[in-house]
Amino acid sequence: METPRRSFVKAVLWNLLGLVSMSGVGFALTGSVSTGGMLAVINTALGFTMYLGYERIWARIRWGRHV
């Protein structure tokens, strides 16, 4: 079973990658660094919360594991 700390670190790293890529996409679509950055921050905060919860739920499900 994965520890909560490992899930948290994975979520942080994944969301940092998402923040960088979404900043670029946001800038490309809007032409504005501030608007693109704000879109990326909102997306990252939402994605982080959703991913962390998703990982913790799946950590409790035994289906498909060979222990």
Say if residues 36 and 26 touch (Cβ distance below 8 Å): yes
Q: How far apart are CA 27 and CA 66, in angstroms?
A: 45
Q: How far apart are CA 57 and CA 45, in angstroms?
A: 19
For the segment 10-32, what is each residue's pLDDT rounded down to a tens digit? 888 988 998 999 999 999 999 99
pTM: 0.66
Say if residues 33 and 58 touch (Cβ distance below 8 Å): no
Give every CB contact of residue 52 below 8 A, 6+ residues apart in sequence: 7, 8, 11
What is the structure's pLDDT at 24?
93
What is the structure's pLDDT at 21?
92
- Phi, psi for 66 (deg, rounded to 5): -115, 105
